[in-house]
Structures are given as C-alpha cells and as structure tokens.
C-alpha cells in the first residue's frame, strides 16, 4: 500500500467495497498515523427493473467517480464466496470485477478479504452478526450512529480490515 507523507506522518486513503448489484456498499477511510476517520460511507443502488448490463454500467460509472473524487491509495474488497443463489453470486462477482478493473486502471493495489477475515479484524470474532459489525464500525470510527444499511457498514469494515492488516504487515517488516 502506498502512503502519502504529510510532514513525517503517513496518510493513507482506502476505498472499501462490499460488492452487490442492488446495493454496493462503499467506504473511504483516511488513516493518518494511528487515527482513522471516515471520509465517506454509503451505498450505490440500482433498480431491479433494469437489465443487468445497464445496472453494471451504472455501478461502473459511480465506482469510477469514487476513485476520481477520493483518489484512494488502495482498494479493499470483500471476497465473493459461494452463495446458495448462483445467479446472485455471479452478479456480485461481476461488480467485484468492475471495481478491481477501476483500481487496476489506476495502478492501485487490490486486496480481497473473506467475510470471516473482515469480522475477525473488526469485531474479533469471525462469525459476528451484521449488527455487531455495524456497532464496532461505529465505535472504531467514532460515528454518532451505526452505518446503515449494513452494506455501508460492511464496506467500512473491509477498509478497516485492510488498514489493520497493512499496519501489521508494516510492523512486521
């Protein structure tokens, strides 16, 4: 992960993504030294009445805008795991791919984390509930309320997981 230097303190922006076609969670976190703050947390939404290619095009455009506006140093994305509904898993994988392409176009590192890795890093328990993740994201980032919907909190959790792993990797060097 590339860090920007502000004086002698490294500043890092991470874009976290919880991929989805109906709701794609995103979060931009800034870490300066040991302080982490939320710059943006939200969801990109598409209408289920639209054909899938049109929905993917909308998401691609909005993700591109996130990269342009926030200029992250890295992309952290939740790994798509097999789901009961294969059609859902395929479309989620397509959204993840769009996000990875946008990062690759900008020559940014991309790291995927499993849902269990994210929960373990943020809550300390790989089988944590959505509500536990939301509350811990709220606490860690000092937010007045838990991020909603859960997709937004999940995206922030992915970014927090990345910052945690990147910090550990840096400490081990």
CA 28, 33, 34, 37 torsion: positive or negative?
negative
143: nearest Cα among 4, 18, 40: 40
151: nearest Cα among 34, 51, 46: 46
Whole-structure pTM value: 0.90
CA 50 – CA 21 distance, rounded (Å)? 11
**Between β-strands 23-32 and 9-18, what pairing exists: parallel, antiparallel or unpaired?**
antiparallel
- 120 has catalytic annotation: no
Hey, which CATH number is domain 4-172, 1.10.10.410, 3.30.70.1290, 3.30.420.10, 3.40.710.10? 3.30.420.10
Number of residues in the chain: 173
149 backbone dihedrals φ, ψ, rounded to 5°: -70, 180
- Catalytic residue from among 30, 78, 102, 154: 78
For residue 1, count other CB atoms closer than 10 A to its CB.
Answer: 21
- Catalytic residue from among 30, 102, 151, 154: 151
Q: Is 25 helix (H, G, I), strand (E, B) or coil?
A: strand
**Between β-strands 23-32 and 110-113, what pairing exists: parallel, antiparallel or unpaired?**
unpaired
- pLDDT in single tens digits along all 173 residues of the chain: 455 544 445 678 999 999 999 999 999 999 988 899 999 999 999 999 999 999 999 999 999 999 999 999 999 999 987 666 677 788 899 999 999 999 999 999 999 999 999 999 999 998 899 999 999 999 999 999 999 999 999 999 999 999 998 764 443 33
- Catalytic residue from among 18, 30, 73, 102: 18
pLDDT of the residue at 167: 63
CA 53 – CA 40 distance, rounded (Å)? 27
Please report, in angstroms and rounded to a whole number, the separation of the first and last CA atoms in the chain. Answer: 13
- 18 has catalytic annotation: yes
């Amino acid at each position: 992960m590339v860090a920007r230097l502000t004086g002698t303190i490294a500043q890092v922006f991470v874009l976290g993504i919880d991929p989805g076609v109906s709701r794609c969670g995103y979060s931009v976190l800034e870490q300066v030294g040991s302080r982490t703050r939320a710059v943006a947390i939200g969801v990109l939404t598409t209408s289920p009445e639209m054909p899938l290619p049109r929905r993917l095009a909308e998401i691609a455009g909005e993700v591109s805008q996130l990269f342009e506006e926030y200029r992250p140093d890295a992309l952290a994305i939740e790994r798509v795991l097999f789901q009961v509904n294969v059609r859902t898993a395929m479309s989620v994988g397509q959204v993840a791919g769009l996000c990875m392409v946008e990062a690759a176009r900008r020559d940014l590192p991309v790291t995927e984390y499993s849902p269990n890795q994210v929960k373990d890093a943020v809550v300390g328990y790989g089988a944590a509930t959505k509500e536990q993740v939301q509350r811990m994201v709220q606490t860690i980032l000092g937010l007045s309320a838990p991020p909603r919907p859960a997709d937004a909190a999940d995206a922030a959790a992915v970014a927090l997981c990345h910052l945690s792993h990147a910090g550990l990797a840096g400490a081990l060097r």
